[in-house]
Structure formats: structure tokens, C-alpha cells
Amino acid sequence: MSPAARPLALTAARDAFPDAEIIEVSTVEEARRRGGTPRSELLVLAEPDAGSAAQAIQPLDASGMPRWAVVMLGGDLADLAETVPREDWNRPLLARVFRSALMQHELLCENIRLQGDLKSVARRISHDLYTPVGCIYTSSHVLKVILSAEELPSIAVMVRNIEDSSAEISQIVERVSFVLRATVDAPAPVSVDVGIVVAGVLRQLEGKMKEAGATLALPASWPEISGVSQWLHVIWWNLLGNVLKHGGARPEARLTWTGEGDGYRFSITDRGPGVAPREQWSIFQPFCRGRSADVTAGGVGLGLALALRWARLLGGTLTLHAGQGCGARFRLTLPM
């Protein structure tokens, strides 16, 4: 380090980390040869050239994480690491920069670790849980076919409960796994025709709509947005499924959309019992259906929470406008 940088760097490091071990080296290569440490490391470079700066940000520790936080005193290399211009060199500022750089480094490593954990959990949920739950569902379905409800009514009811419960568990497993995979490995958005997505959802819900006697009023055309088709499918599946579950007897709903700034606003309005104002905050909470929700309608309280999650991942919002006894209106905004 230059005579101007060295005393400032040393005193600022002691101010920032009073209990730290401070090691002086001549080159980045010498620092790399010292080997890693289980403790957090901060590498401070004084007016480095581009080669030394690039070399400094490359090392990984034994677990594959970025080895250290990097701060550069001087030099025009702000795109590589935290850089402090010479005119800003002073003891308090450098101490703050050192602390901030190390904190960001630790958060980055923790984020990488959590992403790895999420990938592992998603794989275990998808493969290790989904298969046995599917076997339980299939076995209960076979038992229901074999057993006579007239001869063994209590056993038939028990088998039906097992079948229904395993179906709910399978749905939770599928949705949670989907959330984890999308959070860790989000695909790039592309142009998506919303009308094609909604049509696909309606085809899948056709049987349930006929059973409920539901009617939907749809717009004559739909816009194209920037998004992920699979995520949009989940949003519309849950919003339209919510109409079937909580839209009242013979549910009716109207779907509309308008352009709004650099995006679109979609509205789904039903004529159901609505939601009490004091409970509207809880509708989007996982596993929470609100006190006024019809518990006989089924579901586990994940649908709207997932719809909100996907809307936010797509850069949009999802809100509820409803009054108790006067229907509900969900408003979904998405970017063009």
C-alpha cells in the first residue's frame, strides 16, 4: 500500500473490527496462498490494476462460496467491487465501507446456501413425498371401489376420508415444490397471450364449472404480457377456482381488463358473499381462509397466497376489493 493508504486502512479496519486479525500481504496471489479460514475475510486493495482486481474477486472457499469481501481504495474498477475514490479516503468512511462490504459478503453467501437448501428441499418434496402419498391415494381409491358402502358404511367413510386427505397432501406437495423451484430457478419472462392461458384453465375447470352451475362473462379479446406461462396458469387457476369455491350458489363472475400505464389491470368480480373488511388482510396468507370463508368449499388456503406470490415474481400485484355480502373483486396488474 502507498504511504497515504496504509495508515488509513489499518486504523479504519481496527475501528470496524476491533477483534479482527489484520494481515498485510504484497500481492493478491500471496493472499490466496495463505489458505482459507472459517471466519469471514475482507480483502482490501490499494489502487489495484485491472488484473489484480479481477484476480481478487475469483477465489472460492472450500465449500464453493466466494472466499472474501473485496474493497478497493482508489482505481476506476467500481464494477468489480466496492471502490472508494481517493478524495473520499477518511477513517470513519472507510470503517463504514469495510463493515458494509463484509455484511454484504456474508448475506451473499447465506443467500447462496439458502438457494442450495431450497433446491434440495424441492427435489426431496417432489420425489420422496409425492410418490408415497400417491400410493396412499391409489390404494384408498381401490378400496373404495372394492368395499360396499351398504355393507360397511363406516369403513367406506373412513376410506373416502383417507382418499380426500391424501389428495390434499398431494396438492400441497405439488404447490410447495413448484414455489421452491420457481423461487430458486426463475425462468426469463417471454411474451404470453393471456387469452390462451385463461382458455387452458377453463378447459381444466370445465367439469367443476358444470357441476357448480357457474357462468363466466369473458372479454372479447385478451392482451399479451411479459411473463411466464406456467406462473400465469397458476394465478388464473387459483383466481377462477376461488370463484367456484366461494362465489355462492351457481356462481357468476365477470372478467375484464384495461391498459394501465406500462401494464394491464385484470379484474375478476363475483357475486358471492364477499369478505369482511377486517379479514381481507388474511386472505393472501398461506393456510388461512378467513373466519367467514365457507369451510365446506374445500381447499387448504394456499391458492391465493400462491397467486399473490406469482404476481409479485412477474412484477405485478394482486389485491382484493370486497365487502361482506356484496361479492368480491380481485384486481391483478401485470407488466406489458
Give the pLDDT confidence score for residue 323 in this predicted structure.
63
- Whether 50 contacts 132, CB under 8 Å: no
pLDDT(294) > 80: no
Clarify whether residues 304 and 203 are in a common domain: yes
pLDDT band at 324 (very low <50, low <70, confident <90, very high): low
Identify the top-confidence range among 42-56, 76-90, 176-190.
42-56
Clarify whether residues 87 and 26 are in a common domain: yes
pLDDT(81) > 90: no
Lowest-confidence region among 26-35, 133-142, 243-252: 133-142
Clarify whether residues 195 and 293 are in a common domain: yes
- CB atoms under 10 Å from CB of 248, counted, come to 16
* Domain extent for 276: 190-335
Phi and psi at 40, nearest 5°, equal -70, 145
What is the three-class DSSP state of 139?
helix
Clarify whether residues 264 and 318 are in a common domain: yes
pLDDT(191) > 90: yes
pLDDT(275) > 90: no
Cα angle vertex 173, ends 170, 175, to 5°? 105
pTM here is 0.61
Give the pLDDT confidence score for residue 336 in this predicted structure.
83
Cα angle vertex 113, ends 112, 114, to 5°? 90
pLDDT band at 12 (very low <50, low <70, confident <90, very high): very high
Q: Which residue has the higher pLDDT, 232 or 146?
A: 232
Identify the top-confidence range among 120-129, 196-205, 317-326.
196-205
Give alpha helix (H) positions in 17-90. Answer: 28-33, 50-56
Q: How far apart are CA 270 and CA 165, in angstroms?
A: 29
Clarify whether residues 55 and 118 are in a common domain: no
46 residue type, one letter:
A
281 Cβ contact list (under 8 Å, min separation 6):
none
Clarify whether residues 165 and 180 are in a common domain: yes
Give the pLDDT confidence score for residue 293 in this predicted structure.
46
pLDDT band at 331 (very low <50, low <70, confident <90, very high): very high
Clarify whether residues 159 and 237 are in a common domain: no
Clarify whether residues 141 and 245 are in a common domain: no
CA distances from 28 to 3, 33, 157, 266 (A): 19, 9, 72, 55
| Boundary residue ending a domain (113, 128, 160) | 113
How buried is 17 (Cβ within 10 angstroms: 0-12 exposed, 13-18 middle, 19+ buried)? middle
Q: How far apart are CA 274 and CA 285, in angstroms?
A: 17
User: Which bin fits 74, alpha (ψ -120 to 50), beta or left (φ > 0)?
Assistant: left
| Boundary residue ending a domain (113, 140, 157) | 113
Q: How far apart are CA 318 and CA 331, in angstroms?
A: 6
pLDDT(151) > 50: yes
Strands 190-193 and 263-270: unpaired
Clarify whether residues 141 and 225 are in a common domain: no
Clarify whether residues 171 and 267 are in a common domain: no
How buried is 310 (Cβ within 10 angstroms: 0-12 exposed, 13-18 middle, 19+ buried)? buried
**Displacement of CA 105 from its chain's centroid (Å):** 22
pLDDT band at 16 (very low <50, low <70, confident <90, very high): very high
If one counts the domains in the chain, the total is: 3
Clarify whether residues 74 and 194 are in a common domain: no
Give the pLDDT confidence score for residue 149 in this predicted structure.
56
207 residue type, one letter:
G
For 314-318, what is the mean pLDDT? Answer: 91
What CATH number has the domain bearing residue 32? 3.40.50
For 94-102, what is the mean pLDDT? Answer: 94
| Boundary residue ending a domain (64, 87, 113) | 113
For 110-118, what is the mean pLDDT? Answer: 83
What CATH number has the domain bearing residue 201? 3.30.565.10
- The 3-state secondary structure of 221-276 reads CCCEEEECHHHHHHHHHHHHHHHHHHCCCCCEEEEEEEEECCEEEEEEEECCCCCC
- Whether 316 contacts 334, CB under 8 Å: yes
Clarify whether residues 217 and 282 are in a common domain: yes
pLDDT(220) > 70: yes
Give the pLDDT confidence score for residue 297 in this predicted structure.
46
